[in-house]
Amino acid sequence: MVQLHVKRGDESQFLFNTAVDSPLETVIQQITAIYNGRLKVDRICAEILELADHGVTLPPNMQGLTEEQVVELKLKDEWEDRCVPSNGPVFKVDEMGRRNGHAPNDKMKQILLRTVEDAKALISKKQVEANVCFTVEMVTEALDPLRGAVMIVYPMGLPPHDPIRMEFENQEDLSGTQASLQVITEDECQLWWAGKEMQRGKKLQDYIGKNEKTKLVVKIQKKGQGQPAREPLITDEQQKQMMMHQYRRQEELKKLEEADDDSYLDSEWSDRQALRKQFQGLTNIKWGPR
């Protein structure tokens, strides 16, 4: 299997295994699905942390309003009494005004937090360092426990406008958000290697040969953004090691120079004739007028 180290810019994303004769359409499709799936899991985890702290999301027309404004406008959250966490809520006001403040109790909250922690570990970029290759199925493995945890804590479900439910139903609206800039659709995804775009319609072996044990760094890019920066010849870690080696070498040279210093020969203790001069009374002789 060919191992692809997928990056976006200079940032590692995940490792991916594929066959050398795989069509690039298939490779791009799978890489895009994994890339966007990991982003989805990350967004859901962020929202579940807010859910654990402040309850479900308010209707869009009530978000950001003060209690006085809600009363004045005669607005009512019809989902407040229907979307109640298991074992009753604990009130914790949301200073951002996005959620209703009816948070789960500590026991239910811990279920959400533990599940989020496990999901984040599964999609973590540290998996690259551990040499764990990502698959499309692993996205599902991260999403299913999150969905299950939310159903345990909110058995009646979440409001249709809650971003967590919208994410699970693939109805999320990311327009105007920073998250929308990170998503890359399959149609606009480009795969680059060694400064070349890997064109659809070809196979991976058309670029790297037929060696199945090849490892290479590829970069994903949105169409129209041009060629991404090429990989540096040496990594930051390699540069750090080289600098440390150079420093140690300089210190060794300094010690060698100090070891070659022969100024000690002018010292009295190094004079081989010192004992004879002492018996002959030739020590402490000063030359000059009295």
CA distance 39 to 217: 20
Query: Do both 188 and 155 map to the same domain?
Result: yes
Contacts of the segment 133-139: beta carbons below 8 A, 24+ positions apart: 133/3, 133/14, 133/15, 133/16, 133/17, 134/14, 134/15, 134/16, 134/34, 134/38, 135/16, 135/34, 136/30, 136/33, 136/34, 136/37, 138/34, 139/33, 139/34, 139/37, 139/38, 139/40, 139/41
Per-residue pLDDT of the chain (290 residues; tens, 9 = 90+): 899 999 998 899 999 999 999 999 999 999 999 999 999 999 999 999 999 999 999 999 999 888 889 888 989 888 888 899 999 999 999 988 999 999 999 999 999 999 999 999 999 989 999 999 999 999 999 999 999 999 999 999 999 999 999 999 999 989 888 888 999 999 999 999 988 899 999 999 999 988 888 899 999 999 888 777 766 656 677 778 888 888 888 888 787 777 665 555 566 655 666 666 665 666 666 555 55
249 lies in which domain range? 229-259
Query: Is 288 within the bounds of a domain?
Result: no
Q: What is the pLDDT of residue 121?
A: 95
**The model's pTM:** 0.77
Query: Do both 141 and 11 map to the same domain?
Result: yes
Query: Do both 213 and 241 map to the same domain?
Result: no
Q: Residue 127: which H helix or E strand, with range?
A: helix 126-129
Q: Residue 168: which H helix or E strand, with range?
A: helix 163-168
- Tokens 């978000």 map to which residue? 63
Q: Residue 141: which H helix or E strand, with range?
A: helix 136-153
Query: Is 274 within the bounds of a domain?
Result: no
Query: Do both 63 and 120 map to the same domain?
Result: yes
Query: Do both 204 and 92 map to the same domain?
Result: yes
Query: Is 247 within the bounds of a domain?
Result: yes
Dihedral sign from CA coordinates of 215, 8, 37, 101: positive
Query: Do both 115 and 184 map to the same domain?
Result: yes
Query: Is 269 within the bounds of a domain?
Result: no
Query: Is 289 within the bounds of a domain?
Result: no
Query: Do both 114 and 208 map to the same domain?
Result: yes
